[in-house]
Amino acid sequence: MEKKIKAGVVGATGYAGAELVRLLLGHPQAEVAAISSVSFEGKALSEVYPAYYHLCDLPCGTQEEVVDASDVIFAALPHGLSQDLAAECAAKGKAFIDLGADFRLKSEEEYKQWYGGEFKDKNLHEQAVYGLPELFRSEIAGKRLVANPGCYTTAVPLALAPAVKNGLIETSGIVADCKSGVTGAGRKPTQNTHYPDLNEGFSAYKVAAHRHTPEMEQTISRLAGTPVKLTFVPHLLPINRGILATCYAKLRPGVSKEQILQAYEAMYEKEYFIRLLPQGRVADVKNVRYSNFCDISLHFDSRTDTLVAISAIDNMVKGAAGQAIQNMNLIFGVEEQAGLKIVPPAF
């Protein structure tokens, strides 16, 4: 039998870390070798998440133990905590996939502006590749340091990529109106995620000031071949999982609905994880839960010549852990869909 990839998860007791473990447990060519957690060191993961009882009873060790035991290390940590760990992994020849924001932005100036930090090892940042496989697959394969995109920064670029890349929409005035389930806020409770405040509520937050903005602009600018700014407004939904990104963009003069549809079909027809929905259907977070799918529906306002591209993903899977495993598969040259052929529940 072929040797399995030994995967380690640093930050295994956070939502993204726990989701990584869940998906890795079902991966045919990988196994969970070690896990760590500062908050629950010494405790079994199944003590923190009883759903994993007898499935993953591994104790939470130290970061050093995870690095030494693993071929690939997933870091599910807050921003600012991954750079030293990435350097340690590089020194030991281990693959490193960062689910945080430390390696996503190419501009150190933007990282300072939005995250208040600096690049500790500029050479390491130059080696990092951006892990959105459907857009940058060829750059990810075989690499050792991958910056895994977050949820909004996956949903929005995938919704707009074919239109942007083919020059079919204006690059000014793009609006990304997005909604997220509460797991996107992380496991640590805050006042706005407290049940009485969240339940039966629906509100925007960090309006036009969210840290994912420069990351989205970086990806879309790269596709467009020119600097692009967009207006991004996130909202918090009273549900556990899901990202719904409703993106508005003006069609360029003379661009037809048929051209848009052809561009999306050509770009995504061979993408297993992207489901371009038939005309008349609308993307819904309910239909992608627990899966690595991104559903996209396209709509046209003929009165204003506006494209409305809507994408739906599970923020914990395609927006975090599932995409990270997709990147692992590319790094190690195994089937890209391995461990991720999960059918969403129908109800």
What pLDDT shows up at residue 243?
A: 98
3-state secondary structure of 266: helix
Q: Which residues are catalytic?
A: 151
Domains parsed from the chain with CATH numbers: 5-148+318-332 (3.40.50.720), 152-314 (3.30.360.10)
What pLDDT shows up at residue 135?
A: 98
Long-range contacts of 166-169 (CB under 8 A, 24+ apart): 166/259, 166/263, 167/224, 167/252, 168/251, 168/252, 168/255, 168/259, 168/260, 168/263, 168/307, 169/249, 169/250, 169/251, 169/252, 169/255, 169/307
C-alpha neighbours within 13 Å on the C-beta side of residue 191: 1
C-alpha neighbours within 13 Å on the C-beta side of residue 221: 13
What pLDDT shows up at residue 327?
A: 98
What pLDDT shows up at residue 213?
A: 96
Going by C-beta distance under 8 Å and a sequence separation of 6 or more, which residues neighbour residue 173?
231, 249, 250
What pLDDT shows up at residue 192?
A: 83
Strands (E) across 170-222 are located at: 174-180, 203-204
- Burial class of residue 253 in the structure, from the number of CB atoms within 10 Å of its CB (0-12 exposed, 13-18 middle, 19+ buried): exposed
Task: Give the full edge-to-edge strand order of the sheet including 129-130.
Answer: 60-61, 30-36, 5-10, 72-75, 95-98, 145-147, 129-130
Give the sign of the dihedral formed by CA 148, CA 105, CA 141, CA 144: negative
* pTM > 0.85: yes
What pLDDT shows up at residue 100?
A: 95
What pLDDT shows up at residue 10?
A: 98
Structure tokens at 234: 């996130």
Structural contact between residues 66 and 9, judged by C-beta atoms closer than 8 angstroms: yes
**Along the 347 residues of the chain, how does pLDDT read in single tens digits?**
579 999 999 999 999 999 999 999 999 999 999 999 999 999 999 999 999 999 999 999 999 999 999 999 999 998 889 999 999 999 999 999 999 999 999 999 999 999 999 999 999 999 999 999 999 999 999 999 999 999 999 999 999 999 999 999 999 999 999 999 999 888 888 888 888 988 999 999 999 899 999 999 999 999 999 999 999 999 999 999 999 999 999 999 999 999 999 999 999 999 999 999 999 999 999 999 999 999 999 999 999 999 999 999 999 999 999 999 999 999 999 999 999 999 999 99
How many angstroms separate the first and last alpha carbons of the chain? 38
